[in-house]
Amino acid sequence: MPETREAEDAMRALLKGASLDNALSFAAFLRANGFTPKGHDSGDGWSVLRGEESCAFVLVNGAAEMPGPWTIWFNFCDFGDGEGVKEKVKETAWAHANQCAHFASGGRHCGCGDQPGRREVIFGKAFENRCHSPLDFTDPDAATLEDIQVLFLLLAENHQPRKRD
């Protein structure tokens, strides 16, 4: 079983250039705002906890192809009604709504355990056939990372425990 390590150590070992800078900035943001990255046995992923609840998953693998070199998956999207949220942040979220790959390739049910697939409403816009990670961000640039940070703060502000269908 791989050894779990600090997220920042893995980032420094596997990422370079802007990817490294952005990932380290994100890790610092998480820690400064009460989110805790908790390592997985895989050694290259961390659940992002707020208290005891996991609100996201971060994978750092350094790979050139998706989902690398690093990816953030949100576990839920309880961002509230979006009142007062900049349109740019909403558009970033909508652009990264994660359709389950099983549906995207013509499947009839989600291969991620949610059957037949989730319906997510993100800032008033409905998305069908989503899996357990309704948003994903692969190798986000600095501008996208700013919007992601707003989304995390909205989660912290608005989140009630997610009810599974």
Give the per-residue pLDDT at 155: 86
Report if residue 165 sits inside a domain. no
Give the per-residue pLDDT at 27: 93
With a cut of 60, say whether residue 10 has pLDDT above it: yes
Q: What is the mean pLDDT of residues 92-116?
A: 69
Report if residue 68 sits inside a domain. yes
CA 7 to chain centre: 15
Give the per-residue pLDDT at 128: 76
Q: pLDDT tens-digit profile of 111-147?
A: 565 556 677 888 988 887 666 678 999 999 999 999 9
Report if residue 163 sits inside a domain. no
Report if residue 92 sits inside a domain. yes
pTM value is 0.83
Domain that includes residue 61, residue range: 7-158
Report if residue 112 sits inside a domain. yes
CA distances, 152 to each of 62, 99, 109, 115 (Å) = 23, 20, 29, 27
Give the per-residue pLDDT at 1: 27
Report if residue 56 sits inside a domain. yes
Give the best-scoring range by mean pLDDT among 14-28, 32-46, 78-92.
Answer: 14-28
Place of tokens 């009142």: 83
Instruction: Let me know how long the chain is.
Output: 165
Report if residue 2 sits inside a domain. no
What residue ranges in 6-154 does DSSP mark as E strands?
A: 35-39, 45-50, 53-60, 70-74, 97-99, 118-122, 125-138
Q: Which helix (H) or strand (E) holds 142?
A: helix 142-158
Cis omega before residue 161 (within 30°)?
no
| 5 vs 128: which has the higher pLDDT | 128
Compute the distance between CA of residue 13 and CA of residue 80 in angstroms, rounded to an integer: 37
Report if residue 1 sits inside a domain. no
The Cβ-side half-sphere exposure at 154, using a 13 Å CA radius, reads 23
Domain count along the chain: 1
Which residue in 32, 114, 38 sits closest to 76, CA to CA? 114
